[in-house]
Structure 1
Amino acid sequence: MTDQPMERNQGNRVIDHMNEDHADTLLEYVHAFSDLEAPQSATLIAIYQERILLDVKVAGESQELLIDLPEPALDLSSARHALVHLAHLARKKLAEKQGSSAE
């Protein structure tokens, strides 16, 4: 499968919704799936079939970050499912990180 962007209208709906209503989840993605130190904010700028592209602010500088999706995002329904699944994976990974640092 080639990693094509979602159809423009559908992709924009997902992007707008995530940025407006789930900024905290986007930041959880960054904490869980990157080694960036002290990210301040994350903005979803593109959603592809196999990954998402975030603009992450670190120390006032913008950095782009690609994160693989756990399943393809082919339309609105599958994109929603993939992003919710990614959020669950991020929270699980962050809980594991906290548990290992507490030992």
Structure 2
Amino acid sequence: MTAITTEVSSRICQHMNEDHSDAVLLYAQAFGGLKEATAAQMQAIDPEGMDITTLVNGETKLVRIIFDHVLKDSEDAHHTLIAMLKEARVKAE
């Protein structure tokens, strides 16, 4: 169990932005209320939520997405992000 420290947040964000940028965009659209966002990058994640910068109509906007529970550790973050992605995909249909 690895606590979500600043270093862990940076690692998660780098992984999500490099390997799962489509998921980050879906989070912003589905949970951040920014359906018109065309690009997104995860800036930080902590036990309560995540900060994502988005591109909306040529403007950069920051959105804070609160989780439905306080994350216990990085494994909880992993499972929560997967569950949120599945939910976001359903919302997008």
Q: Work out whether the TM-score is over 0.5.
A: yes
Matching residue of 1:88: 86
Q: CA RMSD in A?
A: 1.8
Which structure's CA Rg is the greater one? 1
Q: Give the 3-state SS of the residue equivalent to 2:90 in structure 1.
A: helix
Give the 3-state SS of the residue equivalent to 1:73 in structure 2.
Answer: coil
Residue-by-residue CA offset, 1:22-61 (whole Å, 9 max, x unaligned): 1001111122123335212000001021211100111221
TM-score, reference length from structure 2 = 0.85
Whether the 8 Å contact between 2:28 and 2:35 is mirrored in structure 1 is no
Aligned-residue sequence identity (percent) comes to 31
Match of 1:3 in 2: none
Unaligned runs of 5+ in 2: none
Distance 1:87 1:50 in 2: 17
Segments of structure 1 that go 5 or more residues without pairing to the other structure are 1-5, 96-103
Alignment size in residue pairs: 91
